Structure formats: C-alpha cells, structure tokens
Amino acid sequence: MPIKRYMDRIDAIEKVLGQAKYAGDIHIEGMLYGVIVRSSIPHGWIKNIDFDKALTYKGVIKILTQKDIPGENVYGIIKKDQPLLAKERVRYIGEPVAIVLGEDESIARRASHLIRIEYEKMDVVSDPLQSMNGGVKLHDDGNLLSHRKVIKGDIDRGFRESDVIVERTYRTTWLDHAYIEPEAGLGYMDEKGRLIITSSTQNVHYKRNEISRLLAIPEERIRIIQATTGGGFGGKLDMTVEGYVALSVYHTKRPVLIRFTREESFLSNTKRHPLLIHYKTGAKKDGTIQAVKVDVTGDTGAYASYGSTVCLRVAVHATGPYEVPNVYAESRMLYTNNPVSGAMRGFGVPQIAFAHESQMDIMAKELNIDPLEIRIKNALKRGSKTATSQELGTSVGFIETLKAIEPFWKGRKKSGTRGFGLGSMFYGMGNTGISNPSSARITLTEEGKIALHTGACDIGQGSDTVLLQILCETLDVDGKDVLLVRADTDLTGDAGSTSASRQTYISGKAVQLAALNLRAYLEKEGFYRGRGISEIYRSYRDRGFPPFEGYFDPPTEALDMDTAKGKPYATYAYATHMAEVEVDRITGYVKVLRVYAAHDVGKAINIKNIKGQVYGGIAMGIGFALMEEFIPGKTESLDNYYIPTSMDMPAMEAFIVEDEEPTGPFGAKGVGEPALIPQAAAIANAITDAVGVRPYELPCDLERLKKLL
C-alpha cells in the first residue's frame, strides 16, 4: 500500500525566502562575541601564554583558558579524551587554547591575534603506520584507539579452494564536510538563571550532557535548542561551539555568540577518516566468491571522536553486499597529530565500498564475467549470512537494485574514452551492536491541534517532514492539524543523534507507536465520528493532559569481541549506482555524464525527499571520487578545497526499490548515507572502463589520473 498522505518539505518556503533563522543570525542586545585562540603547531608543550596586549585591547571583556573550567575539562562522544581547552599540551594544529570575549566580533578577532603562546615542540606523528610502530606516545594508554576483527569460516581454506585470487591496496584521504553553514551557537542566561544555548547541531541531548560535566552544573539548569541547521553530514555531532559558548556565558553572565569563519571551520572540524586498505579476494572459476581478507589502517587524528565506531563499521561492512563463506577482516584506528577525524556520512563505509567494488570489477575481468552478473551471483538475499554470521530474514532488496539498473547496463554503448561503472553497497541502519533508541511524545492543544514532540534534529535531510508525515498517515489527519516541537531538551525527549541513517527508521517508528496510542484514544473519544480536537481537548484536560508516547530500540545483538559474530543491525539498506563518464586523456579531466541510482529503502515515505537525498549523495560522491582532498597544513578554505558545483552534476535518475522492513514505520528504513556510499566506487570503475587504468587512491583528480595515464 502506498503512503496516502504526501507532504512537501515543511521548511522549504522559509529557506527559499531567506527567512530561516540560523544560529549565526541570532542577535540579543548586549551580547558578546567569542573567538577561539588555537594552536599553531601540531604537537608540543605549552610553556607560556602572554595575554597582556590582548587583555588591554579596547573592547575585550574577558579571556578564558582551561583554568576557568569548573568541571571536567574533557569531552568525547564515545571516549572522553579531548580537552575543551588545551591544558599543558597541544596535539594538532587548530587545537583550542583560549577564548577571547569582546564587545564586537572584530574586536575579539583582532585581540586574539595579539596573544603569544610559547611552545616546546615535540616530535610529530604524521602517519598511522608510524603511530603503530611506537616512539612518540600521544595518549597515556598508547596510540591505538581501536582494533576490531570480523571472522567467519576458515580464511586459509577459502583461498585454497579459490581458482583466482585478486590482491590490491587502496587509499583514501581526509575530506571536509564543507556544509553551507559554518558552526555557530548563541548562549544566554534566562530569568531563572538557567543556561540556554541555541546552536547548529545534530544532537541536543548529547550537548547538554557534555556541558553539564564541563561546568559541573545539573542538566536541569541547561537547555539546548537546535537552530535551523545548514548541513551537518556528521560534522556537527561532536562538540563544536557549544562548550565554548557555555563556558563564556557561565563566566560573563552575558549573552555570547560564537560563529566560525570558513577558515576556522576547515581548521577545527572533524574530517573523514583516511584509510589504508589491503584487500584480498578469492573466487571460483564460475565467479563464486570464496574468501575475503581485509586489513584496514585508519587515522583518527589527535583524539577519538567516532574513530572506534568507524573502525568497527568498516570491518563489519568489509565484504560489501555479498555472501562470503570465509572472511577475515581486521581494522585498526590509530592516533596521530593530524586533524581529528570523526563522523562523516557513512562512517567509513564509502571508503571500504571503493575497495570492495573495485575488487569485484577486477575479479570479473580476471574471470571474463560481466560485472553485473558477478554481483548478482554473490548478492546477499533472504537467508544469506553476513560477515558477522547474521542471517538476513526480511527486507533484502539488493538483487532488485541490480535488476533495476540492468536495462541501462545492458544498453550501454562504449565508445572512445567513454566508460561505464557499477558500484553497490549495503549499510546497517543505526548504531552498531548497541542500544540506540528513540522516543516521541504527542499532546493535544487547546487550539485544536495535535503536537508532535521529537528530539530528532533536522539538518537539512528532511526528518521534520517525514516524521510529521508518519504522524498524519497513522492518525489519518491533514498536515494543517499538526504542530511540530523538535530538538529542544526542555520540550522533547531524547531521540538520539541524527546520524547512521537512523531517524526515519528509529524515530519514525517511535512517532508511529506514539501516534497509534493517540489514535486509540481519539477513536474512543469519537474523533473519527466527527468530534473535533477542540471538543476532545476538554476531556483530555480533565484527565491531566496525558502524553501519548512511543519508544523504539531496534532489535540488535552485541558483537563478540574476538570474532564480531552477532547481529549488529536490525536491518540494512542496499543500493546500486551506475555511472557513465567521459575521460580526457590529455588533461586527466573526468566528466560524469549520467548516473542511474537504485535504492532499497524498505518503504518510501516521501519520494521527493528520497530522490533529493540520492541526488545529494551523487554530488558528494563525485567530490569524493574526483576532487575533494583536505591536506593538513595546506587546505585553508574553499579557495583550495574543491567541491562539485552545478557544472559538475550529471543527468541523474533515481529508482526506488521497496522491500519492506517489518520493524520500520510502514516498512521504511532510510537513505541518508546509502545515497553517497556506492557513487565513488561506480566512478572509479567507469574510469577504468573508459581508459584502461585503475585508480587505487581517491580522489582520482587531474594530477593522479594523468600519472596513471
């Protein structure tokens, strides 16, 4: 059954008209401006800080350092190892050391340049392989953040039984999120002395928890509200400005705004993890994959952020969407003095997809099998077992995505330097092998409206619209009858982070369950027989305004620490992209001409939203494949970090496969990260098809491709 109640993006008009209020746009009379003073070296001891000139600069109100933090000077989403302000040692270029607060933003910025920091420089760990080999110790517990293995079957037997073995090494580099809106947040004290912060964020409840510890004050005295957010992609999951705003307001008792310039954003925000991937595949003559052995070394930078999550997810997804009887995947994440690497759309799976999809094409060529056929032959399907030995029971639409692309693949016409490539993927929805619930609450208003309260942060992906649509579909009401209250720690419960493609699936299910509870009440009160909400409100009030609540935590199992055997995700998304490219042999320029993209989303709640996500994922995948590269110490702004523009976009067609997931709302899963994951791999394979050389390192930009040619 199709979803009956379609809804246009509820934020579209205000954004198109420029009326949306972003955090950096907010102004409160008498507010101060904060600017962060950062380390100029990658590694060293802080010997002395000279504040004299900055403190006497006209308009400077206060300068804060780690000595001004009343609570714990440490934070981290998974491992708390990162200081808010450096205490004795800095570990990367851009690490925050102090906050300058001024009456004007330009005053604070000019004064920040007057601060002189004296360092005793230390040896720099610039490479994870160097980090692994010992020497300089970056943290008390060593340089290894995480080490995970996925083991299935007998890997040695698998290779012995293989007729062909393909072994290659792949590399990816740092990428910046390059969201339209740099990080920003405003804080103030309300009339009750509570700390209120409005910021550009992906998780309001996590930020409240961290600020509570940093300031050593109860969470009840802190309120975090998500402002309209101009993109996140994972980069606004970690603490960005919130801790600095909170500390500044705590000490000055005045409103404080901190907003990064684009240069500060590049210097400070987390990056996509660079990975070094050794990949070995064994197959029978008929194309049946027998064994996959993968060794991954990742660079998490100076602090943990989401490094351990990426480490595990890469290993779990190392075989791609294929059934492989014998698997040995090993993944390590190490500390370096490079920028902190964190969450970025896909948690390492776009990198590993580049490797496993390249391997599939190489193997297909070795065996003289069509690249589409070898994928179909080995595809995960119902009854298949993943690398973690999880048996897939429902919603496994991978073969259907391949079949959706098949007519275009078979109809391709190769000519000259024009080539075609496939890229496929699977992706676990939600966090890996741990509880990651969401909650939702619905109330009735005196004005005759139904109010949905959800902690889910919409960062541009459209969750506000989708959650309201699920509510309206469940209750059989129109959008004009509902109100949305979202991402406010005072007014909404914890919905978890907007990450891991989890909000439609997990928060959507929580909303559906809350709506079903309300529906039962409305049926009892005669709503579906003609009584309006305003009439029902009186009996609702007499009952004490009971909330109608929903809670959903996907059914997963913890993974074995030695083998990773278990059920890390309740469900998976599947996708296949086909890219058509034209390559200029002289310049190395690659033009992506056309992309066909097929995605198993479980159930399409909002088709326009899904296609918008797919098109955005294609754009980001083009950047990942061909041009985006953050170089520490060199990349400073969008002047030398290249992202795709409208001129780089191909003709695109998205196909929606619906293999419903029983645990999801109306059978839905998600598409946020899957939209990106197979795209770079498809382009890399298309380049090889076009000119006969294979990129093993991304981005395959002009210079790298010219060298290959």
Alpha-carbon distance of 491 to 210, in angstroms, equals: 19
The two tokens of residue 10 are 């509820």
Decide: 474 and 510 in contact? Cβ < 8 Å.
no
Alpha-carbon distance of 60 to 121, in angstroms, equals: 30
The residue among 5, 59, 152 whose CA lies nearest residue 480 is: 5
DSSP percent split of the chain into helix, strand, coil, nearest 5: 30, 25, 45
* pLDDT for position 2: 77
How many other CB atoms sit within 10 Å of the CB of residue 166? 20
* Tens digit of each residue's pLDDT (9 = 90 or more) over 216-244: 999 999 999 999 999 999 999 999 999 99
* pLDDT for position 190: 97
For the chain, which residues make up each domain, given as ranges?
29-122+179-268, 148-176+271-432+570-708, 433-552
The two tokens of residue 452 are 């949905």
* pLDDT for position 202: 98
* pLDDT for position 524: 96
* pLDDT for position 554: 98
Contacts of 162 (CB under 8 A, 6+ apart): 282, 283, 284, 290, 291
List helix spans (H) across 275-433: 307-316, 349-367, 371-378, 398-410
- For the 148-176+271-432+570-708 domain, the top CATH level (class) is alpha beta
The two tokens of residue 474 are 């469940």
> Residue range 313-319: average pLDDT?
98
Reply yes or no on whether the pLDDT at 135 is more than 90: no
Alpha-carbon distance of 545 to 201, in angstroms, equals: 31
The two tokens of residue 12 are 């579209």
- Is 148-176+271-432+570-708's fold the same as 433-552's? yes
What is the maximum alpha-carbon separation in the chain?
Answer: 78
Please report which helix (H) or strand (E) contains residue 247, including its range.
helix 242-252
Share of the chain above pLDDT 90, in %: 99
The strand pairing partners of 68, in sequence order, are none
Report CA 163 to chain centroid distance, whole Å. Answer: 39
Number of Cα atoms under 13 Å in the Cβ half of residue 472: 23
Please give the backbone phi and psi of residue 485, each rounded to the nearest 5 degrees, phi first.
Answer: -120, 115
For the four alpha carbons of 265, 270, 272 and 275, in that order, the dihedral sign comes to positive
Q: Could you confirm whether domain 29-122+179-268 is CATH 3.30.420.10?
A: no
> Residue range 676-688: average pLDDT?
98
Alpha-carbon distance of 458 to 474, in angstroms, equals: 21
How many other CB atoms sit within 10 Å of the CB of residue 158? 23
Give the pLDDT band of residue 101 (cuts 50, 70, 90). Answer: very high
Across the chain, mean pLDDT equals 97
Secondary structure letter of residue 708 according to DSSP: H
> Residue range 313-326: average pLDDT?
98
Contacts of 431 (CB under 8 A, 6+ apart): 309, 500, 502
Give the CATH architecture of domain 433-552: 2-Layer Sandwich (3.30)
Residues 446-482 as b or e (16 or more Cβ within 10 Å = b): eeebbbbbbbbbbbbbbbbbbbbbbbbbbbebebeeb
Share of the chain above pLDDT 70, in %: 100
> Is this prediction's pTM over 0.95?
yes
* Tens digit of each residue's pLDDT (9 = 90 or more) over 456-471: 999 999 999 999 999 9
How many other CB atoms sit within 10 Å of the CB of residue 639? 9
The residue among 132, 151, 129 whose CA lies nearest residue 293 is: 151
> Residue range 27-33: average pLDDT?
97
Decide: 76 and 303 in contact? Cβ < 8 Å.
yes
Reply yes or no on whether the pLDDT at 63 is more than 70: yes
Give the pLDDT band of residue 1 (cuts 50, 70, 90). Answer: low
Q: Is residue 484 left, alpha or beta, with left meaning phi > 0 and alpha meaning psi from -120 to 50?
A: beta
> Residue range 508-512: average pLDDT?
98
Decide: 505 and 661 in contact? Cβ < 8 Å.
yes
Angle between helices 371-378 and 349-367 (to 10 degrees): 110
CA angle 152, 156, 160 (to 5 degrees): 125
Report CA 412 to chain centroid distance, whole Å. Answer: 34
Alpha-carbon distance of 382 to 518, in angstroms, equals: 35
How many residues make up the chain in this entry? 709
> Residue range 146-174: average pLDDT?
98
Alpha-carbon distance of 75 to 65, in angstroms, equals: 16
Burial class (CB in 10 A: 0-12, 13-18, 19+), 82: buried
